[in-house]
Structure 1
């Protein structure tokens, strides 16, 4: 609500009236310094009789975050319902049991809350951020959204433009195209399914098709209710209100297929290229070692437009063979059962052969044990710093608690993760490098490919 100028009235008061308040403020400030700090709380994970997982972390924040996470990412789609997770993300605020689109929008605005829906290949996550005093209202909306979708035909048809807009934005982004093609090349179905709804499927989606996907995936064993800044017993009581079907946990197994590539030829003078081998899943013992290797080779720069040339092995290798601007970074993507580990390169079409061969050579160097002790220590410190910074980011922390609690029924404290990283040795990286690089790589490229070698030529 905006205030007009007539509402802004200044009424002078005697200075003496403010003196007692100042003394009281000073006394309050002194009292605050004597308060005992609140004890740190560990994450709590429990399971309701229905099978629903409840996870919470009390951090005493004035802002609470609650989320429902579901094993309903694109990997669970079939050829008959490709794009279901994308549509559910776009249709998050449509009418559900007990709340219309209008009431959801106005109700969340009234309490100063925000609703977000995000998808990965593994999960669909509905999350609400609100003031701590309004968490009960927020959870009521959240449980309605996650457990009572009605998918009214006219609302679904009127909201398809959101999916179409996402597709239009993705079409003009070569990086998205390359990463989607890389997954589609590495996995046949399952993790190979795109995060985006195919255009030919957009008009095929009906309320019945969406309802069938929800009834299959949105079961109690397949979901978790998660909260930050929420009391665990309170969240458990709220979880009892979530009305979902009973059913076994849905599991899918991905199979990696190496030795193939995807090439998209166009007149773009810049070539986007991604090459990867089979990586590690989030439950694998190798996942931390691969994460250290990512920082050893060179992830995204910490400074915008920076190159971190002094530490990135990939950048150093590419800089020796080209004078043109380029980008090179290591990618490490972990999913429930497997992952992809490799690198992403952007460069001028005329020099892609030399750049790709140079960056490819860095991978071979790891298997031969060419790892400096100081470089490995630096990479471990960078990884630990990144993980600790993510713990300060409440959205990242919420997602981490949600994924771990749903996948394993527990939450691993950051201290234990840091201790495992400290125990890693350079030889561990060599052993893991030999294991993952033993698989055949996959590649996806986009641009003017006249000077971009084929995968067999790189090998």
Structure 2
């Protein structure tokens, strides 16, 4: 009886608190996936975007356009060390104080890096996030990079390098083959020959050049927008010079013979850029049309072209369509895992599909439905929603709501998807392979 009474009081409190926000009485634990997004541009050109999803967990992030594509030959791997160093001592707090106070509030603070963005994300209850915002600010904007703390984290860096899965290595090398050793071709991981060469001075120089207001965004999910604007203004970031390093697509081939029984292959052509939303959605539908694995749990039921190849070649363990979009370019292709003796046969089979430039009516309809469902399912996790708001704020400049995204998918026609498929069919290829490659033909030996 006591527990039922407590439950009733909690539900009553929630319904009163959020009555002006949402009409439904039932509130999902993770919050609603349909919400309006507010965006404010500050005087220093920093972007503040947030949404209220009425979830039990709040999330606040500080993000910068400072990913590995901004690295130079002198500081390759600096973003990897930057990620590892997140949470170490700052100008106002020691590493111990940061860890203790965040854990005491029941919150978590993480740093993530992709090829364009470095993000610091705080997650916790609403009261917990409010208590820990000062630590988020210090970790993201007041780094010190003590050399002894960097040395203490070196074993973790070496462990990450040693435990990278071969599929990740293949995708990493694919970017290098497509964009060469600059811009988007830079790895997410520090090169082994640079271990121990990223000093505190190099980290401070990189941060001062890239962690600036006009390259920053403060984003939130499950927070009050006006409070988030006040927090963003308190960061005190200065404007820096606007630099956009172009990363043109070239195409090429990289092979890394590592031995073993399997071959891991990533093959791609030039895809779509985020600044062209219609084309980006067409490529996303094409990805599902070609196949991204089964959508029915515990089954192998899949009618996509790539899945049919798996049935005809049992030696192949995995084939999935690969679609990566960046602000000014993209990659579209496939990721393949097969036994080394069948790698060549399977690669040519996948290549014939990519070079066909065709999509059936059935595959198109299935791809569109799967994409819409993928968007909805992904947004059930608030972290995915925050990541989407971050990417749109920093890389596109405008943020669309989940409902607007679903409506935009509905407007994509089969002709749009066919145009994307033909772009792949006509584009120069890039290929990266890892494993035992003696049965894998070189790119210029294939009929492509």
TM-score, structure 2 normalization: 0.91
Match of 1:453 among 421, 437, 441: 441
Match of 2:389 among 387, 394, 401: 401
Residue in 1 that maps onto 2:226: 233
Match of 1:200 among 193, 205, 216: 193
Residue in 2 that maps onto 1:336: 327
Residue in 2 that maps onto 1:149: 143
- Taking the aligned partners of 2:12 and 2:385, their CA distance within structure 1 comes to 33
Residue in 2 that maps onto 1:251: 244
Residue in 1 that maps onto 2:428: 440
Match of 1:136 among 121, 130, 139: 130
Q: Determine if contact 1:276/1:340 at 8 Å carries over to the other structure.
A: yes
Does 1:109 find its partner at 2:103? yes
Residue range with higher mean Cα deviation, 295-304 or 344-353? 295-304
- Taking the aligned partners of 2:436 and 2:4, their CA distance within structure 1 comes to 70
Match of 2:259 among 261, 267, 270: 267
Q: Determine if contact 1:45/1:409 at 8 Å carries over to the other structure.
A: no
Residue in 2 that maps onto 1:376: 364
1:26 offset after TM fit, Å?
Answer: 6.8
CA 1:232–1:454: 2 relative to 1, 3 Å = same
Residue in 2 that maps onto 1:5: none
Q: Determine if contact 1:43/1:55 at 8 Å carries over to the other structure.
A: yes
Deviations 1:143-165 (A, max 9, x none): 11111111112222222222122
CA 1:325–1:231: 2 relative to 1, 3 Å = same
Residue range with higher mean Cα deviation, 356-365 or 391-400? 356-365
Does 1:431 find its partner at 2:419? yes
CA 1:181–1:153: 2 relative to 1, 3 Å = same
Residue in 2 that maps onto 1:179: 171
1:108 offset after TM fit, Å?
Answer: 0.2
Residue range with higher mean Cα deviation, 272-281 or 446-455? 446-455
Q: Determine if contact 2:69/2:116 at 8 Å carries over to the other structure.
A: yes
Does 1:78 find its partner at 2:72? yes
| Partner SS state of residue 426, structure 2 | coil
Q: Determine if contact 2:316/2:346 at 8 Å carries over to the other structure.
A: no
- Taking the aligned partners of 2:4 and 2:217, their CA distance within structure 1 comes to 48
Match of 2:208 among 200, 203, 215: 215
Residue in 2 that maps onto 1:13: none
1:357 offset after TM fit, Å?
Answer: 1.4
1:425 offset after TM fit, Å?
Answer: 2.1
Residue in 1 that maps onto 2:306: 314
- 5 Å-filtered alignment, 1:45-56, equals 45-56=39-50
Deviations 1:209-257 (A, max 9, x none): 1000000000001111111111111111111221333213332211111
Residue range with higher mean Cα deviation, 419-428 or 299-308? 299-308
- Taking the aligned partners of 2:6 and 2:333, their CA distance within structure 1 comes to 61
Runs of at least 5 residues in structure 1 that lack an aligned partner in the other structure: 1-17
Q: Determine if contact 1:222/1:250 at 8 Å carries over to the other structure.
A: no
| Partner SS state of residue 383, structure 1 | helix
CA 1:178–1:306: 2 relative to 1, 3 Å = farther
Does 1:391 find its partner at 2:374? no
- Taking the aligned partners of 1:295 and 1:71, their CA distance within structure 2 comes to 29
CA 1:419–1:33: 2 relative to 1, 3 Å = closer
Residue range with higher mean Cα deviation, 349-358 or 108-117? 349-358
| Partner SS state of residue 263, structure 2 | strand
- Taking the aligned partners of 1:31 and 1:157, their CA distance within structure 2 comes to 49
Match of 1:57 among 37, 47, 51: 51
CA 1:211–1:306: 2 relative to 1, 3 Å = farther
Q: Determine if contact 1:215/1:245 at 8 Å carries over to the other structure.
A: no
How many residues end up aligned between the 2 structures?
Answer: 433
Runs of at least 5 residues in structure 2 that lack an aligned partner in the other structure: 23-33
1:22 offset after TM fit, Å?
Answer: 7.3
Match of 1:421 among 409, 424, 429: 409
Match of 1:167 among 142, 161, 166: 161
CA 1:36–1:253: 2 relative to 1, 3 Å = same
Deviations 1:75-100 (A, max 9, x none): 10000100111111100011112111
Q: Determine if contact 2:286/2:420 at 8 Å carries over to the other structure.
A: no
- Taking the aligned partners of 2:140 and 2:6, their CA distance within structure 1 comes to 48
Deviations 1:34-58 (A, max 9, x none): 9957337511111222222111111
- Taking the aligned partners of 1:455 and 1:346, their CA distance within structure 2 comes to 17
CA 1:209–1:306: 2 relative to 1, 3 Å = farther
CA 1:95–1:427: 2 relative to 1, 3 Å = same
| Partner SS state of residue 107, structure 1 | helix
Q: Determine if contact 1:71/1:250 at 8 Å carries over to the other structure.
A: no
Residue in 2 that maps onto 1:12: none
Q: Determine if contact 1:148/1:243 at 8 Å carries over to the other structure.
A: no
How large is the Cα RMSD of the aligned pairs?
2.3
